Structure 1
Amino acid sequence: MAVLRYHQFRKPMSGLRGDKIWRWRCQWSVVTICAIALVLYNAAANIWLLQPPSCPPHVTQPPTEPPTCEPCDAANPSVDDDPISRIDLRLGRWDGSRSYKMFDYAAVGDLYAELSSDRRVCLATQSSIERLHELLRIAAHWSGPISVAVFVAGDELRLLRAFAMWLFRCQPEIYMRIALHVVTPSERPGVPGHVPTWARDCEAKPLPPYEIKSDTMTWRVRHPYPQNHLRNLARKNCQTPYVFLVDVDIVPSKGMAESLDKFLAKAPKCPLCAYVVPTYELDLRVASFPANKSELLRLSRKKLAIPFHRKVFIYNQYASNFTRWEATGGNESVHTHVSHNVTNFELLYEPFYVAPDTVPGHDERFLGYGFTRNTQVYEMFLIGYQFRVLSPIFTIHWGLQARRTRPLWREKQNEKNRKHFETFKRELFARYRRDPLHLLRRPPASKKA
């Protein structure tokens, strides 16, 4: 009975344990199957996600033509012809005083890099918005690369965008040779705005007058124009061995880029040479740009062309000796050559010259007008640069200037820069230990710069 009772007790215990084992095995099989299914699902999903999406065919395409699939991430055409819209105004680089922010290569033409590799000279210039249209005159005569620094404040950025768009659409042969750089003040940084309709109208005249908002114009009158910041920006972004730095209203004679290339290819090596290009003012009554030096000399004899700044500031170009340059005649059949050397250097001499960009930078303490260019040329003189006047090439400024047309604010800026010059000349003496013009013995400069 005891044995029977034992077996009777053990038998159901064994059945209970087997039932538990069977249920555990079933549960394990279900978990395994679910895990395998989940792995297969994830693998299939990853393969599907990694496949490139297919673009639907254009429904507007005629049925006779095969359907096409353009890249799904094709660029927006409205962005393509508005290159300056890509500027991130939160970036850029500051000047030494953190008063101005600079943006290199805000817009670059397709041929700028290639031309910079093929040519020896890059034309560098700078401008404000209201004078930027002068760039078209320069580009019509200069076939090489052009580096342009533009100053914009506040809403003027939209006008620069519009001008770049207009060039891109309507003057592609000019746009492709240009690199545009931007300087904006910290007090009134550039802001995006509505681009005017003329930006996409090739029949329209770009940058019509009176388009700048009145509050921006008021701000501009109270704040000096940072010429030297812009000059440094434009010239430092030239990629050629030589730079020809001019103001935006100085137009080169026709074919000058090619002529300078030939001259510099044969010129003897002279690391401390600056090649001066004579500059004349042209009476607005003259109908067309002088075709050559002979034509310019004919206009000079009729007093329709005079040396640059002769009436408003004679020291500006006096040392170039225009009398000697004119005495050599036209000589159009002769290639560009050195007419003569500058031997009577003047303190306030500020020629437009061609030189490597190893020359000293333009001191950015000088803001507005006065002492902005001649201080840089004076430092070149201290270093030992030789200024050599070229012929028969030349540059032209349209319009004869007169001192009575100078605004009062310009003279105030000139006085302020004269005070900076007193410090500047002492710094140069400390740096080079030379004072060939005896500036430290003179009283503060009283001439108009």
Structure 2
Amino acid sequence: QPCRLFEIRRFLCPRLASVTFMTSENQARLFGEYGRSLLLSPCLSETPEARVLERAVLESRVREMEEENRQIRLQLNQLQGTAGQPADGGNYGNAAWGASADTGPEDVENTAEERANHTECPRSPTVLKCELIHVACVCAGHNASRDVVTLVKSILFHRRNPLHFHFITDAVANQILSSLFQSWMVPSVQVSFYDADELKSEVSWIPNKHYSGIYGLMKLTLTKALPSDLTKVIVLDTDITFATDIAELWAIFRKFTDKQVIGLVENQSDWYLGNLWKNHKPWPALGRGFNTGVILLYLERLRRIGWEQMWRLTAERELMSMLSTSLADQDIFNAFIKQNPVLVHQLPCFWNVQLSDHTRSEQCYTEVSDLKVIHWNSPKKLRVKNKHVEFFRNLYLTFLEYDGNLLRRELFGCPSQATSESVRLQGALEELDEDDQCYDFRRERITVHRVHLYFLQYEYTPAGDDTDVTLVAQLSMDRLQMLEAICKHWEGPISLALYMSDAEAQQFLRYAQASEVLKNRKNVGYHIVYKEGQFYPVNLVRNVALRNANTPYVFLADVDFLPMYGLYDYLRKSVVQLDMAHTKKALVVPAFETLRYRLSFPKSKAELLSMLDMGTLYTFRYHVWTKGHAPTNYAKWRTATTPYKVEWEADFEPYVVVKRDCPEYDQRFVGFGWNKVSHIMELDAQEYDLMVLPNAFMIHMPHAPSFDISKFRSSPGYRYCLQTLKEEFHQDLSRKYGAAALKYLTAQRNI
């Protein structure tokens, strides 16, 4: 508490994040319109209104702290001798709060000066301005990969130092996280991955009852898994949320004595006391034991004392009587510490406030503003019981739905090592002419969107005959209602790219988890492309779905179409019948539409033709864009019994089945217009034969027009730029495919 006397001097800079942790809980709501601006802003906000609000909030906070400090002074006058105690509640059996064996000469000098000026409250150790902080996590599977993103956001939000994340992953998490960080492009952040499969043999011999499985034991292997020249690392569970700068935790390494190698917070439940239920027999621990959700590992010293051999001997000895671990690595860490208590540095409890049902976490803090790290270590996660759980949940949800693009900020004053990709993008950006009328369109083409692959659980077993087909489509939030119907019509694998904000992605997650249809389908890959910029990057989103299809063939569709029942099996047979493995073919699935929101879906071609004759169905875009599908030759299709070839014509944009290695969509086309047309042109330029399937069909379901088509219809500038991009595409096609591509330019001029 004495340290609060000096907090006011440090409060006003350099960031207002601490404003969110006020003493009054009703001021801690983080999602108000102005509250969000305060949460995101640096010392000075951009708008006068925000500055006025900041000033009011700061003045209120200052007055509040002055009164609090006045009360503290009164207490200090009454309680002699208490002023010399450290602000974190004690030294926890460790070295004194001042200089330790790892403190450099400069730190010793600063510490002495502090003691001379403020003997009652020496300042906590700090890190150098641009010191690199290392963080390690074990992450396996789809769900953990999703959880770790929220952890990373909370760290990035508060951080002022360069970071190096070390992820021990399985193949799934490696694919997801490597793609995410590569597309996130956060300055001053390095990421390394380590194969968990190579470490399994180190811990697979340990029987473990914990729900984390074998991955819950991986933290024991970090001295071996991480680089040998890495001296220190902060180890975190994926269900952690930071409420402060992680540099404060990193600085505690400087307080370790010569012998201390592990920093841990005391366990806040009675688990290791063995009194939770009758015949409860936990592993041995020192008192209440320690929780391993947050660990400071002094790797260099651990290697020096032979950590790998020591924890193995401890585990072997205890397993003779315990038979298995109940809390995975935590049991072994605690048994080791029980035998070697001098090696542990006990961290203040606010560095790991544990929110499981049997904890005494409320005793760890008096105000929520004291919190540093929140640990959702109950299997029930956000549904845990705690008197402040609403505050904790709001804090967690803030980072869960926080726009990750805002975290791409440079660290002021710290050199950032530019990647080859960032250099390329900067060069491309500098080449653009800001006076160009179509500058915004051109800039969109080089925008890098964050991509989170396999946002939900995904399981796919390849078909043995190499004929499998994946339905590929893209969508945004306003088409979400189509997913259940598509899953009912198509039983094969699906690859979907969803263009959403961080908050919308969480809405989608809740929607999918509540849907009986969607949660029972594991062969659907959902890939989030996060929103950025003013246009819908439709072809970029399509390409994400296309690249992540796992079958030899793909059905390139749109999400507002329902395929006929049985189309999946029919397409697989057609792949064989038309020898697609050895020829370049694009199989055309004829498209129809209905204007009715409620439709008795046709069960056969004959039933569809009857509905077509009655006017219940129409050929797709017959009324507004006949050219888009006219070359399909619907008149011939009515009586066709075998596949027939059609020729490319200008503006043809059918839905096709092709090999997965087909050309990608051209990403210069954004929003509305020519996104599919350009793709079919390139297929034709590569001499794909367009073959119409006689017994296949798909039906477009009605919906409100998209925002982009409205812009196209209302903006002459939009239409001008689309025409400009068309002409440039034709020129690029001619350069790429030579004289054979001249027909496209000729056809365009004849329109």
Rounded Cα–Cα distance in structure 2 between residues aligned with 1:225 and 1:354: 24
Q: CA deviation at 1:415?
A: 4.0
Structure 1's 75 and 395: CA in aligned 2 closer, same or farther, altered over 3 A? farther
Paired amino acid for 2:497? A
Instruction: Determine whether 1:106 maps to 2:455.
Output: yes
Aligned to 1:393: 696
Q: Deviations over 1:349-390 (max 9, x none)?
A: 010000102221111111001010101110111111100000
Structure 1's 434 and 303: CA in aligned 2 closer, same or farther, altered over 3 A? farther
Rounded Cα–Cα distance in structure 1 between residues aligned with 2:450 and 2:749: 33
The one of 521, 531, 552 aligned to 1:185: 531
Instruction: Determine whether 1:254 maps to 2:565.
Output: yes
SS in 2 for 1:108: coil
Structure 1's 440 and 355: CA in aligned 2 closer, same or farther, altered over 3 A? closer
SS in 2 for 1:105: coil
SS in 2 for 1:419: helix
Q: Is the 8 A contact 2:401 2:506 kept in 1?
A: no
Structure 1's 77 and 249: CA in aligned 2 closer, same or farther, altered over 3 A? farther
Aligned to 2:520: 173
Structure 1's 60 and 241: CA in aligned 2 closer, same or farther, altered over 3 A? farther
Q: CA deviation at 1:164?
A: 3.0
Rounded Cα–Cα distance in structure 2 between residues aligned with 1:238 and 1:270: 20
1:314-353 alignment runs, 5 A limit: 314-328=626-640, 338-343=642-647, 345-353=648-656
SS in 2 for 1:359: coil
Aligned to 2:723: 418
Structure 1's 72 and 257: CA in aligned 2 closer, same or farther, altered over 3 A? same
Q: Is the 8 A contact 1:227 1:367 kept in 2?
A: yes
Q: Is the 8 A contact 1:284 1:400 kept in 2?
A: no
Unaligned runs of 5+ in 1: 1-41, 43-52, 62-67, 188-222, 332-337
The one of 446, 453, 464 aligned to 1:97: 446
Q: CA deviation at 1:236?
A: 0.8
Instruction: Determine whether 1:295 maps to 2:607.
Output: yes
Aligned to 2:545: 234
TM-score normalized by the length of structure 2: 0.41
Aligned to 2:327: 72
Structure 1's 60 and 261: CA in aligned 2 closer, same or farther, altered over 3 A? farther
SS in 2 for 1:107: coil
Q: CA deviation at 1:339?
A: 2.6
Rounded Cα–Cα distance in structure 2 between residues aligned with 1:87 and 1:257: 39
SS in 2 for 1:164: helix
TM-score normalized by the length of structure 1: 0.66
Structure 1's 140 and 370: CA in aligned 2 closer, same or farther, altered over 3 A? same
Rounded Cα–Cα distance in structure 2 between residues aligned with 1:380 and 1:132: 30
Rounded Cα–Cα distance in structure 2 between residues aligned with 1:286 and 1:96: 38
Aligned to 2:672: 369
Q: Deviations over 1:279-308 (max 9, x none)?
A: 100241763111111100001111211111
Structure 1's 312 and 262: CA in aligned 2 closer, same or farther, altered over 3 A? same
Q: Deviations over 1:3-25 (max 9, x none)?
A: xxxxxxxxxxxxxxxxxxxxxxx
SS in 1 for 2:739: coil
Aligned to 2:207: none
SS in 2 for 1:373: helix
Instruction: Determine whether 1:59 maps to 2:277.
Output: yes
Q: Is the 8 A contact 1:340 1:389 kept in 2?
A: yes
Query: Percent of aligned positions with the same letter in both sequences?
Result: 25
Structure 1's 419 and 161: CA in aligned 2 closer, same or farther, altered over 3 A? same
Aligned to 2:192: none
Unaligned runs of 5+ in 2: 1-258, 260-270, 280-322, 329-376, 384-399, 409-420, 423-443
Structure 1's 225 and 86: CA in aligned 2 closer, same or farther, altered over 3 A? closer
Structure 1's 70 and 77: CA in aligned 2 closer, same or farther, altered over 3 A? farther
Rounded Cα–Cα distance in structure 2 between residues aligned with 1:324 and 1:75: 63
Aligned to 2:504: 156
Q: CA deviation at 1:257?
A: 1.0
Structure 1's 299 and 79: CA in aligned 2 closer, same or farther, altered over 3 A? farther
Paired amino acid for 1:59? W
Rounded Cα–Cα distance in structure 1 between residues aligned with 2:548 and 2:705: 34
Paired amino acid for 2:593? E
Rounded Cα–Cα distance in structure 2 between residues aligned with 1:374 and 1:409: 16
Q: Is the 8 A contact 2:672 2:709 kept in 1?
A: no
Paired amino acid for 2:684? F
Rounded Cα–Cα distance in structure 2 between residues aligned with 1:266 and 1:57: 69
Rounded Cα–Cα distance in structure 1 between residues aligned with 2:327 and 2:720: 60
Structure 1's 99 and 287: CA in aligned 2 closer, same or farther, altered over 3 A? same
After superposition, the CA RMSD in angstroms is 3.9
SS in 1 for 2:622: coil
- The range that moved more, 408-417 or 144-153, is 408-417
Q: RCO higher in 1 or 2 (8 Å CA, sep ≥ 6)?
A: 1
Larger radius of gyration: 1
Aligned to 1:123: 471
Rounded Cα–Cα distance in structure 2 between residues aligned with 1:100 and 1:414: 25
Q: Is the 8 A contact 1:123 1:244 kept in 2?
A: yes
Q: CA deviation at 1:104?
A: 1.9
Rounded Cα–Cα distance in structure 2 between residues aligned with 1:177 and 1:390: 25
Structure 1's 225 and 401: CA in aligned 2 closer, same or farther, altered over 3 A? closer
Rounded Cα–Cα distance in structure 1 between residues aligned with 2:517 and 2:565: 22
